[in-house]
């Protein structure tokens, strides 16, 4: 049974530990996954990152309390460098298309408070939510979606997604996740819909779902978490169209790259009238920000 290994950068983990007052665990700093699920050594913790995937939510800071304790934070402020460039979120937050690094959280319940990026304390809440249930030993993305004050699918929600972190050495893992409330089912492919260079990847991808194998063309292998097994990804242009709508393009993204042996997720974000792609490598980061970005159009 093939083992796939993730190691969390020590600098990122140490920063989380400091920010959380010692809540996060330093050892072990790795987990193993296999085709039958996730296995860990002595650890029963969960590796978690937060990814900002809402066009309707400003840059955010995070505070949280474990097992009913006192709020700790702001967390991201302790993790992120002071100067991240002119297009970065205010100091100490994550904005659309940005992610924290993965950190191992021990079992327990977590109450979260999101405050405005740049906040120096946890007093001025934008919204309070509970962390979704953690899967022991798993690697998880907590996707920030919806809008503060939204209702139904458009309500502010943390949507948990279990991640793969590697792929076979000669292939890449690529997953699409539809997290755009109000948007219809989508067909996603490489190139321009209706042209000779267009290649379908997923079809009829509905809100809240991950990739499904295309029903036309050559079938693509897909695993239980929704990753397509493909040749190394270097797509100059990916596009989305309304499923079954005859090739009318409603979203595009440029320069998506996932190398052999790596796994990546592409999130469809926005709403019915404005869709974007956010691409993430599902891998540990040597820094405090995870490898995610809003794809250019």
pTM: 0.84
Per-residue CA distances from 28 to 9, 47, 93, 238 (Å): 12, 11, 27, 38
Query: Alpha-carbon torsion 173, 277, 195, 215, what sign?
Result: positive
pLDDT at position 207 is 92
Q: Which pLDDT score, from 0 to 100, does residue 37 have?
A: 31
CA-angle at 269, arms to 263 and 274, nearest 5°? 140
For residue 232, which phi and psi values (nearest 5 degrees)?
A: -45, 130
CB 210 within 8 A of CB 202: no
What is the DSSP-derived secondary structure letter of residue 260?
A: T
Q: Which residue in 250, 143, 264 sits closest to 189, CA to CA?
A: 250
Give DSSP secondary structure letters for 242-254. Answer: ETTSSS-EEEEEE
Q: Which sign does the torsion angle of CA 155, 157, 163, 165 carry?
A: positive
Map tokens 């320069």 to a residue. Answer: 255
Query: By the 8 A CB rule, do 163 and 50 touch?
Result: no
Q: What is the pLDDT of residue 16?
A: 53
pLDDT at 221: 64
Tens of pLDDT, residue by residue, the chain (297 residues):
233 333 444 444 455 555 555 555 433 333 333 333 333 445 678 999 999 999 999 999 999 898 899 998 888 876 555 444 444 444 668 999 999 989 889 888 999 999 999 898 999 999 999 999 999 989 999 999 999 999 999 999 999 999 999 999 999 999 999 999 999 999 998 888 777 788 888 888 999 988 865 544 444 567 788 899 888 988 888 999 998 776 678 889 988 999 999 999 999 999 877 899 999 999 988 777 889 999 998
Edge-to-edge strand ranges of the sheet holding 30-34: 4-7, 30-34, 37-39
Report how far apart the first and last C-alpha atoms of the chain are (Å, whole number). 41
Tokens of residue 140, six digits: 């998880």
Query: Domain locations in the chain?
Result: 4-165, 172-277
């Amino acid at each position: 049974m093939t083992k796939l290994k993730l190691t969390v950068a020590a600098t990122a983990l140490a920063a989380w530990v400091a920010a959380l007052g010692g809540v996060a665990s330093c050892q072990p700093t790795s987990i193993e996954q296999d085709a039958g699920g996730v296995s860990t050594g002595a650890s029963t913790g969960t590796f978690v990152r937060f990814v900002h995937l809402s066009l309707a939510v400003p840059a955010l800071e995070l505070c949280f309390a474990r097992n009913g304790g006192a709020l700790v934070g702001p967390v991201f402020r302790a993790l992120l460098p002071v100067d991240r460039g002119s297009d970065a979120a205010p100091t100490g937050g994550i904005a659309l298309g940005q992610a924290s690094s993965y950190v191992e959280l021990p079992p327990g319940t977590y109450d979260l408070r999101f405050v405005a990026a740049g906040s120096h304390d946890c007093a001025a809440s934008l919204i309070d939510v509970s962390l979704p249930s953690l899967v022991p030993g798993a690697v998880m993305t907590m996707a920030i979606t919806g809008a503060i004050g939204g209702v139904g699918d458009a309500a502010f929600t943390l949507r948990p997604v279990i991640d793969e972190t590697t792929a076979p050495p000669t292939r890449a893992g690529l997953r699409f996740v539809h997290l755009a409330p109000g948007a219809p089912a989508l067909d996603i492919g490489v190139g321009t819909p209706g042209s000779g260079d267009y290649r379908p990847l997923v079809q009829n991808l509905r809100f809240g779902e991950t990739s499904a194998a295309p029903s036309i063309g050559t079938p693509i292998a897909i695993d239980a978490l929704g990753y397509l097994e493909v040749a190394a990804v270097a797509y100059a242009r990916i596009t989305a169209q309304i499923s079954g709508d005859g090739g009318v393009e409603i979203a595009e993204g440029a320069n998506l790259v996932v190398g052999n042996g790596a796994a990546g997720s592409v999130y469809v974000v926005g709403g019915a009238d404005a869709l974007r792609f956010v691409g993430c490598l599902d891998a540990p980061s040597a820094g405090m920000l995870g490898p995610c970005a809003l794809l250019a159009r």
